[in-house]
Structure 1
Amino acid sequence: MRRLKHRLPVRLRHHWKVVAACGIFFAVLVGLVGTSRVAPIVTSDERADADVVVQDIPGTVDLFDTSRPHELTLSYSPVDYERMLDQYWEDGDKEYLEADLVVDGTRIDSVGIRLKGNSTLSGMTRDGQTAPRGFGDRGEEGVRVGPPAGGAAPRDFGQAGGGFRGGGMGGLRAEEPENLPWLVSFDEYVEGRRYQGRTEIAVRPATGMGGSTTGLNEAVALSLVAASGEPSQRYTFSTFTVNDRPTVTRLVVEHPDRTYADSLPGDGVLYKSQASGQFADQGDDQTDYQDDFEQVNKKGSQDLRPVIELIQWVGSASDAEFAAGLADRVDTASFARYAALQNLLLNFDDMSGPGSNYYLYYNLDTRKFTVITWDLNLAMSGDATQGPNDAGRMGGFLGAGPGGDRGQPPEGFEPPEGFQLPEGFEPPEGFQPPDGGPGPGGGMRMRGHQLKERFLADPEFKKVYENAYRDLYQRLYASGAAATAVEQTSAILKAAGANASTVDSEAAALRTLVDSRTKSLATDEVITRK
């Protein structure tokens, strides 16, 4: 029953009484009409999206204009908030909470907000206890990453100042909603409403993941993805106030919604990979893929069939067929840049990481897929000497290079089954890793992705990847663009009201990482090859 419930859209769960009444009406209608023939009339183009904009709120200034200060204020019923948490603690459902939002002086009543993320939320505590379900949980066979289920998580787990900075999945408390990751929906309770053309925005977490409590590393990474020419997301920094809680400065990111999909090249369909999902053939029934991919736009005219066909082909094609046919299905030049970017930015949690963070965009004109980067809060951290062909993994302190201090976990910390620790980590005396846990020098286990693995294993596609890597290294690192992005982004963050001392500290660590990475890669044979 729980699996069936998850397949029901949120709006259907909200308005089930109306749906039930309609069902009764149609049952009566069938009884009256019987076998009479009804001929449907289709008037819309097969590519049309049923989405209708009723109200588009202009606001006072462009939310993603980083040259202007921004303010976000949320207010909601504490009783409703506790009810939402009860639901999440009970079965992991991220239900929407109705709230009022003020954006840069413009009041917007009845927006929907819900918790956002999986790995980020896995260590969240409520009254000192973690949720009974962790990141990546798919039931009894799932692998949980985070503090032990139902157990107490140390206050500094995963936070700046804590011993396990940059490698943690926790540090969030339900009692501090101003630090939680939120998805804000403008049309969840008011159909057809937009704010500056958008249906959703994401308020990113303040957890210390990736070694940053300010979001500086993610903002820099987003800037570099945009500079590469690959699809990225716009961002800004804003003060953020929730009810009567203290005001903080948070990173706000454009969420890949229907408007975002329309901004991508050509006419196409956007699909989000689910964190608990998989890229594996499960047959032809589209309902069997509901836990794996979510269709973002064109829901009235398109479906999951293109994704399913790609999955089935990648899984069944011989090496020769894969080499000959991939370019007919995937924009291989763009995919090479995507893969190169994840390595250059030290983003271990990409499409092959434990969070399965990526979108697929299917261009209806070219009939090809593009892989889109998403969720970079773990980027720009880890080992600066990671080479073009080295597998990524979760690093330690932001900017830690070889021999750098990767930090230690809180005393007595015991990671759950399936969790692996960064290289150089020394567990407390007497610690026994669970079965399948980390060995010496282990990093967090990568999930893997068949499309990416087969692409990089093919000799010809490997050349395309390395050429893209060489080009992007010159454009992003050797040119000084990454160093400039650190300076510009830290200035924006300070202007938005973030603690200057914290920003200076994180910016210094990022400068060290960028400098070390630039010098280390400069002598790599992929870069020096003529």
Structure 2
Amino acid sequence: MTRLRRRLPVRLRQNGKLLAACAAFLGVCWGVFGSGTVRPYAVSAPDTTAGAVTQDITGTKDLFDTSVAHQITLTFRDESYQDMLTAYVKDGEKEYVEADLTVDGTTIPSVGIRLKGNSTLAGLTWKGESAGRRPAGRPGGERPEGFRPPEGFQPPDGFQPPDGNQPPREGRPPAEGDEQTGDRGRRRGGMGGFGAALKAEEPETLPWLISFDEFVEGRRYQGHSQVAVRPVTGRAPTMLNEALAISTVGAAGEPTQSFAYSAFTVNGRSSAPRLVVEYLDEGYAENLGDGVLYKSLATGSFTYKGEDQTRYASDFKQVNKVGGTDLQPVINLIRWVDEASDEEFAAGLPARLEVESFARYVALQELMLNFDDMSGPGRNYYLWYDLGTRRFRVVTWDLNFAYSGDAFGGGRTGSHKLKERFLATPAFKKLYEEQYAALHRKLMAGGILSGLLDDIVRGYKLNAGAGAVDADAETLRALLRERAEATSAG
């Protein structure tokens, strides 16, 4: 019985009595009202137990101190890992495996680990067979459950899948000495590629989400309930592009994530240093202030579906204050964006959204060539709702496709109604252009990005298992130079 209980998510276990009471109440309703329609809403009294911290492990080093070496070791039962892979291949479910974790000499028993990512896992194989669940339209793959690429989505010019088989852009023949692509910018593409070639037999290379409280309620590590471990891909195992993109967002003054490189071992198998990234969990939300953090899901859309909150379960996930607040602020925003006239949108958006911050967000994605932003296939963003100002802020997340593609092109993406209407409104388009020019002067032309990259490379080299990184760094520096040239008129 204990083992069965531990298979249940912590949040479900924490609210077992409440759920039982709700089930009993619905049973009474059924008896009284018969087969009449009952519309469920995700509204409840504040839950003072959910998210309560009972243990915060200090460790020996700051996990995200990039000036020191780090070591992360995972150990788990192979049978549990096989069960996890079976569930993922069969149903696309990313189940947690119980593991023992050692971080910089501090052992933490019974953490939860699961596969992390969507498009990143599209190239996963197991026993020589495809195990990934590819986005629709990708060669030889299937769509993940509920996945719908944004309308009109196309990868940007120069984007290269890991196998290098993307043809050059139509009408531009390959340049001399350039076998895979047709222009100088496209030679730089492909870091952190779509559907990276990953093998389940090599768990030390896979993308992982580590949860400190999945099997031990209320436990955190240095304030974090979860951290993400980015994959080792064949094309760019260092993931310098993502580390630089995270640093770029922070240098622009927008909310970003902490990161560091670490030596990484799984069941005795070691890999090159892994990029470990702060996850946007309850602790992250607490540091943002008094508000609610909502994660956009890859299966979702920004579409008004009525007031029934259960209809948005595949669109957004609430991160913090669960039980005390709900999805209603997000639904209100979606409905207003959908229904407001152009005049109402221009006049009313600043009361609902931090428009200057959003202009920076959109400008940053373009400068960094990140096609997988809020309007990309992964719908990678969070919404932060400040309970004091009653305004939203868009928070950047998952930048493994940034700084990839044609430096002289742009980040072609799909659709997102908020972003589209924002750029179609003259006053907001001007604000975007001002932010774009300011960011270019500060980051691109000012040399800040080059300095950030130098720091990242130094941090990578500190760790055991660090291989050749200078070639990747030079590739990225060349892209930065070309991107600065391409955007100089912006």
TM-score by length of 1: 0.76
Report Cα offsets for 1:223-252 as digits up to 9, x if no partner: 111111000000000000000223431000
Pair 1:514 & 2:449 matched:
no
Paired AA for residue 246 in structure 1: S
Instruction: Quote the residue 1:455 is aligned against.
Output: 422
User: Does the 8 Å contact 1:220/1:486 carry over to 2?
Assistant: yes
Offset, 1:132: 6.8
1:87-486 alignment runs, 5 A limit: 87-131=87-131, 133-135=133-135, 137=143, 139=145, 142=148, 157=163, 165-166=190-191, 167-208=193-234, 212-264=236-288, 266-386=289-409, 390=410, 392-393=411-412, 446-486=413-453
Query: Contact 1:214–1:498 (CA<8 Å) still a contact in 2?
Result: no
Closer, same or farther in 2 for the Cα pair 1:362/1:24, shift >3 Å? closer
The structure whose RCO (Cα within 8 Å, separation 6+) is larger is: 2
SS of 1:217's equivalent in the other structure is helix
Residue range with higher mean Cα deviation, 74-83 or 47-56 = 47-56
Deviation at 1:12, TM superposition (A): 6.8
**Residue type of the partner of 2:425?**
D
In the aligned structure 1, how far is the partner of 2:362 from the partner of 2:19?
Answer: 50
Once the two structures are superposed, what CA deviation does each residue of 1:259-294 show, in whole Å capped at 9, x if it has no partner? 000111x31000000011111011111111011100
Contact 1:91 1:133 in 2 (8 A): no
Helix, strand or coil: the match of 2:428? helix
Letter in 1 for 2:463: A
- Contact 2:303-2:338 within 8 A present in 1 as well: yes
Give the CA deviation at 1:300. 1.9
C-alpha displacement of 1:177: 0.6
Q: CA deviation at 1:21?
A: 11
For the residues of structure 2 that align with 1:319 and 1:9, how far apart are their CA atoms?
Answer: 47
* Aligned residue type for 1:194: R
1:239–1:496 contact (8 Å) kept in structure 2: yes
8 Å Cα contact 2:162/2:194 also seen in 1: no
Distance in 2 between residues matched to 1:113 and 1:24, nearest whole Å? 31
Distance apart, 1:466 and its partner CA: 0.5
- Within the candidate set 442, 460, 463, 1:496 is matched to 463
In the other structure, the counterpart of 1:437 is: none
The aligned length equals 432
Displacement after TM superposition at 1:181 (Å): 0.6
Distance 1:376 1:457 in 2: 25
RMSD: 3.1
Q: Is the 8 A contact 1:352 1:449 kept in 2?
A: yes
Deviates more, 1:484-493 or 1:321-330: 484-493
Shift of 1:168: 3.6
Q: Quick one: which amino acid aligns to residue 483 of structure 2?
A: R
Question: Following TM superposition, by how much is the alpha carbon of 1:456 offset from its aligned partner in structure 2, in angstroms?
Answer: 0.6
- The structure-2 alpha-carbon separation of the partners of 1:46 and 1:463, relative to structure 1 and needing over 3 Å to count, comes to farther
Could you say which residue in structure 2 is the equivalent of 1:410?
A: none
Q: Is the 8 A contact 1:49 1:300 kept in 2?
A: no
Q: Per-residue displacement from partner, 1:85-128 (whole Å, max 9, x unpaired)? A: 11111110111110000000000000001111000011111112
SS of the equivalent of 2:303 reads coil
Cα distance in 1 for residues equivalent to 2:47 and 2:356 = 26
**Structure 2: which 5+ residue stretches go unaligned?**
1-6, 33-43, 137-142, 151-160, 166-178, 182-189
Does structure 1 retain, via aligned residues, the 8 Å contact 2:119–2:194? no
Deviation at 1:382, TM superposition (A): 1.2
Task: Give the 3 Å change call, closer, same or farther, for CA 272–25 of structure 1 in structure 2.
Answer: closer
Do the aligned partners of 2:66 and 2:260 also contact (CA within 8 Å) in 1? yes
Distance 1:72 1:57 in 2: 15
Percentage of identical aligned residues? 51
1:368–1:24 Cα change, 3 Å: closer
> What is the one-letter code of the residue matched to 1:339?
V
Distance in 2 separating the partners of 1:284 and 1:21: 22
Structure 1 residues 13, 364: CA separation in 2 closer, same or farther (over 3 Å shift)?
A: closer
The residue number in structure 2 matching 1:487 is 454
